């Protein structure tokens, strides 16, 4: 990833259902924050199921900015990029059929 300024992350759900969990959403916020700290934009987080996938960027709850706080330091408010209007991956704004 040397020189990258954008990154897409993905993972699979063993159940086959790509619906994002609360933990998926928390992880996305953490990864967006980590990416922003090092000057990289998290472009999307895809959740893959058995025959469908979900783009978290296309959802209304994509983090627009993240607040990073550390004891003894001033809080940082970092943009993560814009949200749902940036992405359209598949059959609907937030889901798609798996390639065959």
CATH number (domain holding residue 46): 3.40.140.10
Over residues 24-40, the pLDDT tens digits come to 998 998 898 888 888 88
100 domain residue, yes or no: no
Pairwise CA distance, residues 72 & 59, whole Å: 34
Pairwise CA distance, residues 41 & 34, whole Å: 9
The pTM for the full model equals: 0.70
83 domain residue, yes or no: yes
Over residues 6-27, the pLDDT tens digits come to 999 999 999 999 999 999 998 9
76 domain residue, yes or no: yes
Pairwise CA distance, residues 94 & 12, whole Å: 16
73 domain residue, yes or no: yes
Per the structure, the complete domain to which residue 14 belongs is given by 6-90
Pairwise CA distance, residues 54 & 90, whole Å: 9
54 domain residue, yes or no: yes
Q: Are 18 and 63 in contact (CB under 8 A)?
A: no
C-alpha separations of 89 from 13, 22, 34, 95 in Å:
18, 21, 24, 7
> How many domains, the chain?
1
């Amino acid at each position: 990833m040397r020189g990258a300024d954008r990154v897409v992350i993905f993972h699979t759900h063993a159940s086959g259902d790509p619906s994002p969990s609360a933990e998926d959403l928390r992880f996305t916020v953490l990864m967006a924050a980590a990416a922003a700290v090092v000057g990289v934009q998290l472009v999307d987080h895809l959740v893959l199921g058995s025959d469908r996938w979900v783009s978290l960027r296309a959802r209304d709850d994509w983090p627009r900015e993240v607040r990073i706080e550390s004891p003894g330091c001033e809080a940082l408010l970092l943009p993560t990029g814009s949200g749902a209007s940036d992405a359209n991956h598949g059959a609907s704004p937030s889901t798609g059929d798996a390639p065959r």
